[in-house]
Amino acid sequence: MDIHVLQQVVHKTRDARRKQTLPKLSLAERDTLIKKYHPDFREHAYRTIRFGPNAGDKTVVELAALLEGMSQVPDDLDLTPSYVTDVLVVGGGGAGCAAALHAHAAGAKVILATKLRLGDSNSVMAQGGMQISVAPEDSPVTHFLDTLKGGLMHNDHQLLKVMVEEGPAIADWLIKLGVLFDRDQDGNLHVKKGGGSSKPRLLTCSDYTGLEIMRVLKDEVLNQKIQLLEFCAAVELLSDDQGRCTGAVFKDLDNGRFVVVSAKAVILATGGIGRLHIQGFPTSNHFGATGDGLCLAYRMGAKLVHIDTFQYHPSGAVYPEQLIGALVTEGIRSEGGHLVNAKGDRFVNELDTRDVVSSSIIRECEEGRGIRTMAGRVGVWLDTPLLDVEHGPGTVQKHFPAMVRQFERFGIDISKDPVLIYPTLHYQNGGVKIDTNAETGIANLFVAGEASGGLHGRNRLMGNSLLDLMVFGKRSGLTAAARAQSMSYGKLTLHHVRRFRDEARKHGVPSSEVVSPMILPAYARKVV
């Protein structure tokens, strides 16, 4: 049936839905729903990691293969450094830029190396906002409790305490740099309520918050003349005889040559793994999100935490085909947009946590209440026109201009017609274990942002990722800069790579099986 005919169900049932009250799920009901429908609980998608710091733990098969993968750097590579610096930052997104800026401000010599261009990252695509307790009726304690509940009580309490307490200072820093957060009529910061939060605390820049923050951070990195290595992909870390991190090896994507950088401290800010398309899911992630930092840190001996849990954002586009997996911002649900099945019924509290909402959408589709596109994809409706009905004409255009433009390109007016959505692979809940200064168990190796683990527990609360990037980008940069002032450059070796290869052989893993990191997703068609 034509998609426009199916859309009429949403319009016809709107009045009845506006009067509908959804029952609150009990803890037992939530648990049952998630375990039955959430992708984290599909046993066939997981396997045991055979060796390394997380031997015996389970993760998705795609990531397990990369963690056990072999380095592409030859044992006899000439390790004469092409560059020498105090602090080496790997990754050009929010965490990387924040780390570089704070390390530079503390007086360290900084090199920022990034696989693609400066700013090419998931940070750019963050739409929903940044959670910070700035409202009079809110507090860091309430933010802490909301996040702990959202993370299913598995969050690292010390990391979480640091993040919520330092949030207001981060907001002040970003505003002084020039970030244009939304304001109310009195000029105060405007806050919205996000899924799983008890108080409004989302700071937004319409529906392009991440883009606005990255605009400012990128300009500041360039203005401060921090040295950049673009299109330079990290393929290995370097260590001294005591196992301390002493630099990294990169591959210049323009000419394929290896580039060696000696550093007193290394900060990995390489982002997530969406482009592994685990379990075949589409993804909202940028092209370079292939889990590089996890592979590098793991081979070095760093422990990973919560690496069996991933976040599937409830509202990834299902139609048109050109937008498959792209985010339809959670802000639309925060403003009152309904999720509607093929029968025209609401089926979940739209502001519940992401794991509950995603599981509910998957349930509707698996039980035959989804809407199927001509391409064979299935999803549910997000009633975007309801915002204009409830809040007045022009609301969608005013609050979600980026989303309006995104769909206009394909002849869809989201202020008049609902959009079709389904969960999309969005975030890596776990990652490398860090302390409150973002340092790993490997001396002088730091990890900031999505590549780190522990802070968000087993389900990230919306809006916390941007704050995570800024807080631990700052802490890693300042700590690394201070460390660099009191130490000399270490020896450059690949000893840990050789040890890893030896361990792989002991477990029967052939060195030619998988090479990691992946660097770029394998989208090329195979010639048969």
What positions carry a catalytic annotation? Answer: 354
Give, in order, the Cα–Cα distances in Å from 250 to each of 71, 358, 452.
12, 38, 21
Query: Shortest CA distance to 136 belongs to which of 182, 175, 188?
Result: 188
Query: Which residue shows structure tokens 């918050």?
Result: 209
User: Which amino acid is present at 389?
Assistant: V
- Cβ contact 316:327 at 8 Å: yes
Give, in order, the Cα–Cα distances in Å from 478 to each of 156, 471, 474.
21, 11, 6
- Cβ contact 339:322 at 8 Å: no
Burial 417-445 (b: 16+ CB within 10 A, else e): bbbbbbbbbbbbbbbbbbbebbbbbbbbb
Who's near 414: CB < 8 A, 6+ residues apart? Answer: 384, 385, 396, 400, 403, 404, 407
Beta strands in 384-503 (DSSP E): 419-428, 431-433, 445-447, 452-453
Q: How far apart are CA 307 and CA 166, in angstroms?
A: 26
Query: Shortest CA distance to 415 belongs to which of 438, 447, 440, 392?
Result: 392
